[in-house]
Amino acid sequence: MAKEKMVTAITSMKEDFAQWYTDVVKKAELIDYSSIRGCMILRPNGYAIWENIRNELDRRFKATGVENVYMPMFIPESLLQKEKDHVEGFAPEVAWVTHGGGEKLQERMCVRPTSETLFCDLYSNIVQSYRDLPKLYNQWCSVVRWEKTTRPFLRSMEFLWQEGHTAHATAEEAEERTIQMLNVYADFCEQVLAIPMIKGKKTDKEKFAGAHSTYTIEALMHDGKALQSGTSHNFGDGFAQAFGIQYTDKENKLQYVHQTSWGMSTRIIGAVIMVHGDDSGLVLPPRIAPTQVMVIPIAQKKPGVLEKASELKERLSAVCRAGLDDSDKTPGWKFSEYEMRGIPVRVEIGPKDIEAGQCILARRDTGEKITVALDSIEDEVTRLLDTIQADMLARAAAHRDKHTYTAKSMEELGRIANETPGFIKAMWCGDEECENKIKEEYSVTSRCMPFEQEEIDDKCVCCGKKAKTMVYWGKAY
């Protein structure tokens, strides 16, 4: 009977994946909807995950020499207009400020949809000499895009992210940095979020507005849809020319800088949910979980139980992020609640255990329960958290591999797209016409041209002409 109640709380993935997703974000109390259209409230459970992501990423950025700054949230229209492709790409989805203090503004300002233009404006002022380079700046902020339809984490009108903006003396250095940051993202996702990524380059059609080239990491969700999880752009000297960012080189010649930008947003939390979650709710990888271990006392009013549980929590706090629920809810209720919230390990301790000098550890990812001696609890929990982290990555990788297909013909590609959602590897001639045709016919888009290429065939899957690259195709969020 208890089980029945649990499954009614969250729609099963199989029944309706979209509804399952919405149920999880709400029931795990990650977000709440706000009274502003398309904007979400990050509640403590959700924001804590973002804080952990931010801390971990920030540490990794700084290890590569990046410094943090903060830019204004408003961009004057004239500044936004400077780079042609960039405006065209973003103009349809910017929010405009037209009045201030009751007065109409002489020049309207947009709320930043991204800050390339502001960074370029800054760089044009502070870069004079080759000695001023490189500039490796990053900012943590929110941006606004006037989206038509929104979903928690995946697409909201305002979202939190980081945007890194760098300026370099040479094209080679810029390209190197672009790839370096893509690798930072991919490593972070695999090691911390336990999400395996496909690294690759976007086709011209899919690249960022104003970019020379865009690199991406792509993940596969449980329902077989792809999610672009982070991007790194090489701008070449396009923005530098538009904004006049020039420096004097060693030969006393004026040169344009070469720039990059790279970003990861709260969208990545959507990936964590959709890669690891199950019908009981969220499943958090230990390294990102705000609470890694929750101690649940059984029969807590019996003498000595709460004291022992509290002592256990204190001991565990020395080796991990531990919590104790001593509320007067029943144990069964607590079990379900913390499963829904995705806490990796649960410790059960009751009178019988105390007498036997042991406790029970339950894994969130597999549901497995083991009995361990209280004496060695720190070691056992530490090891179990590592095991869970590794197993989650392995499972996600196995799922992705199982749902990665190859297609040698349009028919095959179409059949896979319609019947077995996942990544589809297929050869491509490089012609945008073929790319468009595949999208129109099967509503799959090119996810990326992976760094790890395979020669599936020598012909383009669409037109049959000589193939240039292998492309990952898929339905995307």
Partner RNA sequence: CGGGGCGUGGCGUAGCUUGGUAGCGCGCUUGAAUGGGGUUCAAGAGGUCGCAAGUUCAAAUCUUGUCGCCCCGACCA
Of residues 315 through 344, those in contact with RNA by CB under 7 A are 328-337, 339-340
- 9 phi and psi, to 5 degrees? -70, -40
Contacts of 43 (CB under 8 A, 6+ apart): 29, 30, 31, 32
Q: Which is nearer to RNA, 397 or 476 (CB)?
A: 476
Structure tokens at 9: 């709380």
Q: Which is nearer to RNA, 169 or 471 (CB)?
A: 471
- Decide if residue 149 touches RNA (CB under 7 A): yes
Count helices and strands (H / E) in the chain: 15, 23
**Minimum distance from residue 456 beta carbon to RNA (Å):** 25
Among positions 80, 242, 294, 298, the unique one binding RNA when judged by CB under 7 A: 298
- Decide if residue 33 touches RNA (CB under 7 A): yes
- Decide if residue 14 touches RNA (CB under 7 A): no
Range 446-475, binding RNA (CB under 7 A): 475
Range 256-285, binding RNA (CB under 7 A): 263, 265-267, 280
Q: Which is nearer to RNA, 284 or 340 (CB)?
A: 340
Range 223-262, binding RNA (CB under 7 A): 228, 231
Contacts of 401 (CB under 8 A, 6+ apart): none
Q: Which is nearer to RNA, 123 or 159 (CB)?
A: 159
Task: Walk across the sheet containing 74-76 and list its strands.
Answer: 74-76, 103-111, 95-100
Report the distance separating Cα 134 and Cα 138, nearest Å.
13
Q: Is 12 helix (H, G, I), strand (E, B) or coil?
A: coil
Which residues pair with residue 74 across a beta bridge? 111
Q: Which is nearer to RNA, 237 or 353 (CB)?
A: 353
Q: Which is nearer to RNA, 40 or 169 (CB)?
A: 40
What does the CA dihedral 220, 223, 224, 229 come to, rounded to 10 degrees?
Answer: -30
Range 376-415, binding RNA (CB under 7 A): none
Listed ranges 14-22, 98-106, 166-174, 397-405: which one lies at the site for RNA (CB under 7 A) = 14-22
Contacts of 355 (CB under 8 A, 6+ apart): none
Q: Which is nearer to RNA, 290 or 350 (CB)?
A: 350
- Decide if residue 359 touches RNA (CB under 7 A): yes
Among positions 175, 237, 353, 435, the unique one binding RNA when judged by CB under 7 A: 353
Among positions 155, 315, 415, 459, the unique one binding RNA when judged by CB under 7 A: 155
Peptide bond into 113 cis (omega under 30): no
- Decide if residue 83 touches RNA (CB under 7 A): no
- 198 phi and psi, to 5 degrees? -95, 125
- Decide if residue 117 touches RNA (CB under 7 A): no
